[in-house]
């Protein structure tokens, strides 16, 4: 139990620190924050991607007075659902109707309280570092009363603006090296990212899901990060890292995805059973996290470029697949049950790999009845036409700057 006086002191201390912060680099996501009366605005994303900064930018832009409270604070350790009543009295006393809550999912039963706030006419903005906020918890008590968006680390276009770089091959290579976590880009201190991964594994996964074998989770995470762009299957990993059950692997995959550390894309197939039976391709959600955590002596630039293109697509599409039949295609992107893009990624096209990359993409386009597809390379450009279908080979920097 936490006394109201203690809650007030934490709010005051956090508010002072929060409002003193530099608003920072204006994010492309700022005008996209979903806002409507009687709806909670939910922003989720990996830790350190800038969610709190985005709230500060929103506050200074549209809301001059608001109560800000980050529940991931040692002074609020042990905060329980019964403490929400004392928090509510404190909010009422302050006479403010705009509320910014960071990491409120730590508090069991938080969604009932938010529902009450909405009924009482408060405007509520919530951030969290776990995607399950958008499903289980919200679906239970905030059905139809929340608007959600995801925030990611800097996109390529944000990165080059932040760094004042000209778009081009050198900028792509710099982005591959630095990633999009603002704190790391500013400081260049690797410990920031090592701490980030540790926080995700401990706070967002181990504590939240009562994972006891932390060592196995760490080993699996390093293995998956090392294998970006490759197929992974729970059944084929059984026995590794002292994990003996495919179900445990699948649980860990889900936890890592929910925490926005890794993502897994399925085979494109109209049958969900077929998707579930087949291996998934794994990608890391920031490129510097690969550099700092991969257990590999290889530069792996080709896979890293593929991962970078995935991140670009992931900021636009929730549903991304890979295609595999006679040939293979790296990405099939869908929106509202409609296939929008088919994309092949290859660091450099040459005589040895052209047929494989071209034919794999063309096969996917024919199967999906797409008129246009892309081969993304580091620095090559060309156009191919066959049977009314157009394949455009583009340098990564051109594709990454194309409008969504």
Six-digit token pair at 237? 């990993």
Average pLDDT over residues 329-354: 97
User: CA–CA distance from 123 to each of 45, 98, 143 (Å)?
Assistant: 21, 5, 17
**Those residues with Cβ within 8 angstroms of residue 61's Cβ, 6 or more apart along the chain or in another chain:** 30
Average pLDDT over residues 30-44: 95
What is the value of pTM for the model shown?
0.95
Average pLDDT over residues 212-235: 96
Helix or strand or coil: residue 402?
coil
The CA distance from 81 to 48, in Å, is: 26
Q: How confident is the model at residue 335 (pLDDT cuts 50, 70, 90)?
A: very high
Domains of the chain: 4-150 (3.40.50.300), 156-401 (no CATH)
Q: What pLDDT was estimated at residue 139?
A: 65
**Those residues with Cβ within 8 angstroms of residue 371's Cβ, 6 or more apart along the chain or in another chain:** 365, 388, 389, 390
Q: What pLDDT was estimated at residue 297?
A: 74
Q: What pLDDT was estimated at residue 404?
A: 58
Q: What pLDDT was estimated at residue 106?
A: 85
The CA distance from 125 to 144, in Å, is: 15
Q: How confident is the model at residue 135 (pLDDT cuts 50, 70, 90)?
A: low
Q: What pLDDT was estimated at residue 140?
A: 67
Least confident range from 12-16, 183-187, 293-297: namely 293-297
Q: What pLDDT was estimated at residue 142?
A: 76
For residue range 229-276, list pLDDT tens digits in order. Answer: 999 999 999 999 999 999 999 999 999 999 999 999 999 999 999 999
DSSP lists the bridge partners of residue 373 as 391
Measured over the CA atoms of residue 97, residue 102, residue 103 and residue 106, the dihedral's sign is negative
Q: Calculate what percentage of the chain has a pLDDT beyond 90.
A: 88
């Amino acid at each position: 139990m936490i006394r109201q006086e203690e809650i007030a002191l934490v709010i005051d201390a956090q508010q002072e620190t929060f409002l003193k912060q530099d608003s920072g680099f204006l994010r492309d996501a700022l005008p996209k924050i979903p806002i409507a009366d009687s709806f909670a605005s939910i922003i989720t994303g990996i830790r350190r991607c800038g969610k709190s900064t985005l709230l500060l930018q929103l506050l200074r832009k549209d809301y001059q007075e608001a109560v800000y409270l980050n529940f991931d604070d040692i002074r609020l350790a042990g905060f329980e659902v019964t403490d929400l009543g004392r928090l509510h009295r404190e909010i009422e006393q302050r006479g403010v109707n705009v509320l910014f809550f960071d990491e409120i999912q730590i508090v069991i039963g938080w969604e009932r309280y938010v529902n009450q706030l909405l009924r009482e006419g408060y405007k509520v903005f919530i951030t969290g570092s776990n995607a399950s906020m958008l499903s289980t918890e919200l679906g239970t008590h905030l059905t139809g009363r929340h608007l959600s968006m995801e925030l990611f680390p800097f996109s390529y276009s944000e990165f080059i603006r932040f760094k004042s770089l000209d778009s081009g091959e050198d900028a792509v290579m710099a982005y591959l090296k630095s990633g999009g976590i603002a704190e790391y880009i500013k400081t260049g201190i690797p410990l920031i990212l090592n701490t980030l991964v540790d926080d995700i594994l401990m706070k967002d996964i181990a504590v939240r899901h009562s994972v006891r074998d932390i060592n196995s989770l760490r080993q699996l995470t390093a293995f998956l990060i090392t294998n970006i762009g490759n197929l992974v299957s729970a059944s084929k990993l059984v026995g590794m890292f002292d994990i003996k059950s495919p179900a445990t692997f699948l649980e860990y995959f889900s936890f890592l995805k929910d925490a926005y550390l890794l993502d897994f894309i399925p085979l494109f197939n109209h049958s969900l059973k077929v998707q579930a039976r087949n291996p998934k391709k794994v990608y890391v959600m920031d490129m510097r996290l690969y550099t700092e955590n991969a257990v590999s002596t290889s530069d792996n630039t080709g896979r890293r470029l593929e991962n970078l293109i995935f991140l670009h697509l992931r900021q636009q599409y929730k549903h991304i697949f890979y295609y595999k039949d006679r040939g293979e295609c790296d990405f099939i992107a869908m929106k509202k049950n409609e296939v929008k893009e088919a994309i092949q990624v290859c660091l450099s096209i040459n005589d040895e790999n052209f047929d494989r990359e071209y034919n794999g993409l063309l096969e996917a386009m024919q199967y999906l009845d797409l008129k246009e597809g892309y081969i993304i390379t580091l620095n090559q450009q060309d156009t191919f036409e066959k049977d009314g279908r157009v394949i455009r080979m583009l340098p990564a920097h051109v594709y990454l700057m194309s409008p969504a």
